[in-house]
Structure 1
Amino acid sequence: KAALRIRKAALDLEVSRVIVGECGHAWRVAYSFWNTLSGVGAGGSDEYSLKLQNQLDSRYPQPQHIIEYTYDLIKRDKLKFDKSENDDRTVTFHDSCNVARATNMGGIPNGQFILPREVIKAVCNNYIDMERETIKESTFCCGGGGGLLTDDLMEIRIKGAMPRMQALKEVEKTDGVDTLAAICAICKSQFSKVLPKFDFDPYMIVSVHQLVSDAIVLDKSHTIESGVEENIEEATQ
């Protein structure tokens, strides 16, 4: 039903792209099933799926992750950043289970690992990966997935988070990491609660696009799409 609501909204609004935000479960479902569930992407054969497939812009992946969208704009030099705005941070990245193990980004091998890190590096001067055996396809669970994200199960959640917290503690000691970025809402909610249990600041967990928003430079001379002037200054007054 959720997928059909998205299809209806896409048809009603006559959009050319459907973009999924920073949510691990949403991206796993969208990437794996939306094509046949709702016609967002090739595969659906009912009347409304075919109509949507004809409506969506085939130049872009359907559906598209917000990381793919931002990465594409960065590669095409459509965004301007002041990386020094994030110089007070030393950042590392947590690969969320659903994204790491069940999806892809960018249509390239291991794109789900490459693109988020490239976006972070485009907006931050100080980036450090955790130990190789604890990230990417070998990532640890945040400890809050699988229906565990309730305070009644906090003891289990703390135990589940321990492997990731140990890896994070190592880069905190060796490289001064003080910011943990993630692109999954459950991971971010989980870490905000369990980080203090391991002597970390609960506010060190951020979304990747929080880092983007801190570094982005908005001015009327920089356009988002070629040929379209965006007077950001006027729009925000």
Structure 2
Amino acid sequence: MAQLTSSGIPLTPEVDALVTQYRSENVQLHGKKLHHLVAKQTQARKELSRLSSERQTFEKTWCDYLNKLVTLVQTQVEQRQKTLEAFEASEDGWRRQLSEATTQLAQSTGGKASVDASAMEEDDEFVDLEIEREAERKQAQEDTAAKFESLMQSLQTAQQQAAQAVTREGSRTPRRRAKVEKVDVDSSPEPSAEAFANASKSALPVPALPKDAAGKTKQEEY
């Protein structure tokens, strides 16, 4: 067609009409193609902005959850320590009562050798048992403290990573975006799938599976 129009050869009215029609249709097709490409470009930008906003909401939800979890664990450990201290105070009181009663009993028997020997034997057995129990308690407390320290380090690391992710996603999200509603997070040890599903109906805490250009999710491909 280009050679035909550029050769300078006079065209018959019929051929000239065909050339004009071809050019018109070609311009229309080119315009439709450009419009289609612009539409795809706009859709891609819109979806990327939506995913970025939903990702930021997701990261913020997890950051809030981890903050609450760290506070919850710290509070429970403090309560546990107070309970253990109450146990120890009560045990000390009963030990004093046992010691005083044993001493008074020995004095009231008139210092008989048989009674004293029996009481001393019982005291020795009790002391040995208490020493063994105390060693077991200390070992259990040390094991618990080590596990708590490891747990807190893991939680604090996850907490820092979540906070960094929120900051990172916030810096990548365009300023002109819709205001995201705050999501309340359950303080359960691990958020269930049902909890996230219910929350997603109101504030989208969990982004949907991203779709490819064909409109299929990664899960649908399998």
* TM-score (normalised: structure 2): 0.25
Structure number with higher relative contact order (C-alpha < 8 Å, ≥ 6 residues apart): 2
Larger Rg: 2
State the TM-score, normalizing by the size of structure 1. 0.23
More strand as a share of residues: 1
